[in-house]
């Protein structure tokens, strides 16, 4: 699992952080950068969801539902609430 997260981190750094710090001579349309950023986020989400769903199916599904319900809302709020849904449901379902 750590290898996948490290790969997603590296891709995010290459796509977003490195170009903003160093600058590039390649003229990449802003729309392409936006699409790549969204694709990286979706890949990270799917990877994390399936890796957690193998361990805790119901909490992962609840967290996924929270994310879908709040898709157009604040990203930080979305992350906090979906994480809380996962942690609380995992805790209470274990009994």
> Higher model confidence: residue 62 or residue 12?
62
HEC sequence for 42-92: HHHHHHHHHHHHCCCHHHHHHHHHHHHHCCCCCHHHHHHHHHHHHHHHHHH
pTM above 0.95, yes or no: no
**Token pair belonging to 6:** 């490290």
Query: Do the beta carbons of residue 15 and residue 40 sit within 8 Å?
Result: yes
Query: Over the stretch 42-87, which tens digit does the pLDDT of each residue have?
Result: 777 777 777 778 888 888 888 888 877 887 777 778 778 888 888 8
> Higher model confidence: residue 37 or residue 4?
37
**Token pair belonging to 81:** 């609430």
């Amino acid at each position: 699992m750590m290898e996948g997260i490290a790969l997603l981190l590296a891709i995010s750094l290459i796509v977003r952080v490195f170009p903003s710090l160093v600058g590039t001579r390649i003229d990449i349309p802003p729309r392409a950068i936006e699409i790549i950023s969204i694709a990286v986020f979706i890949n990270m989400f799917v990877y994390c969801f399936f890796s957690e769903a193998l361990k805790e199916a119901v909490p992962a599904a609840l967290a996924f539902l929270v994310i879908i319900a709040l898709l157009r809302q604040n990203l930080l709020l979305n992350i906090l609430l979906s994480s809380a849904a996962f942690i609380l449901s995992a805790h209470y379902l274990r009994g």
